[in-house]
Amino acid sequence: MTHSARAATLKTDPAYAAIRRSLDYYYGDAGQDAAMDALYAQFVQAGDLVFDIGAHVGDRIGSFRRLGARVVAVEPQPLCGRAIREIYADDADVILVEAVCGASEEPVTLFVNSANPTVSTASTEFVAAADTAGGWHQEVWDAEMRVPAVTLDGLIERYGTPAFVKIDVEGYEDVVLSGLSHSLPALSFEFTTIQRDVAQRCLDRTAASGAVHYNRAMGESMRLELDEWVTPQTMADQIMALPHEANAGDVYCLAVPGR
């Protein structure tokens, strides 16, 4: 059974009702899958190791596997982790680490949005920013749980140096990067217009670790916005200039020219 077929079976399982919207959105659209593969193929080749930090229900895992990469997926939410285990049950090249990725290996508090688990977060600042931001009024973080933590350095020590790291952790991206002391070929981090300061800290950290070329994709467009890669300062200026309604995107960082 394919990964998409396994995901389809979960959509009808009442046990996964809380993440049904995510499963519906992220699985079953062949066109979106193709666009995602084309985007990540610029950074990932067959045989590469990839870290998926904030894997949620694992759609990016599927793309990385279609490209032939081995994947270490980090996801702290129990139901999302259960879905990943079900969808990739027969895939020895997918390793699930059920934890938050952060600055240290001390357990952290995860703030859970039961109605919209995709925006669950370990960042109190993200919750506070959303509380007063237009377009976010409907979001409620109604539960908390203590979860284990890992660092990027610890993952590298255990599994090896990845060719690409995708980081999407709802305002905790700068904390994830604070646990990295290695230079990496390529990575991406999510940013939001309600926390541009987090994006600035991520740009500072990635530049300090050796990244020199930057681009971005907005929302779920699955395409790079810029025809030419830019400096971290130019990327910072562009993010500051985005309208609030732009909401979110991903910054792509390269230490070397495209592969």
Please give the full DSSP string across 219-234, using - where no structure is assigned. Answer: TT--S-S-SS-B-HHH
Is the pLDDT score of 53 beyond 50? yes
- pLDDT tens digits, 201-231: 999 999 999 999 999 999 999 999 999 999 9
Mean pLDDT (the chain, rounded): 95
Is the pLDDT score of 84 beyond 50? yes
For residue 259, what pLDDT is reported? 46
Q: Which residue has the higher pLDDT, 256 or 185?
A: 185
Is the pLDDT score of 116 beyond 70? yes
User: What's the helix, strand, coil split of the chain in %, to 5?
Assistant: 40, 20, 40
For residues 116-139, give the mean pLDDT: 93
CB 62 within 8 A of CB 84: no
For residues 34-38, give the mean pLDDT: 97
- The residues, ordered by sequence, that sit 6+ positions from 253 with a Cβ below 8 Å of its Cβ are 186, 187, 188, 189, 206, 211, 213, 214
How far is C-alpha 165 from the geometric centre of its chain's CA atoms? 9
Is the pLDDT score of 17 beyond 60? yes
For residues 80-84, give the mean pLDDT: 97
User: Measured between alpha carbons, how far apart are the two ends of the chain, in Å?
Assistant: 32
Is the pLDDT score of 179 beyond 90? yes
- pLDDT tens digits, 143-164: 999 999 999 999 999 999 999 9
Q: pTM value?
A: 0.96
Alpha-helical runs (H) found in 67-195 = 78-87, 124-131, 152-159, 173-178
- What are the structural domains of the chain? 3-254 (3.40.50.150)
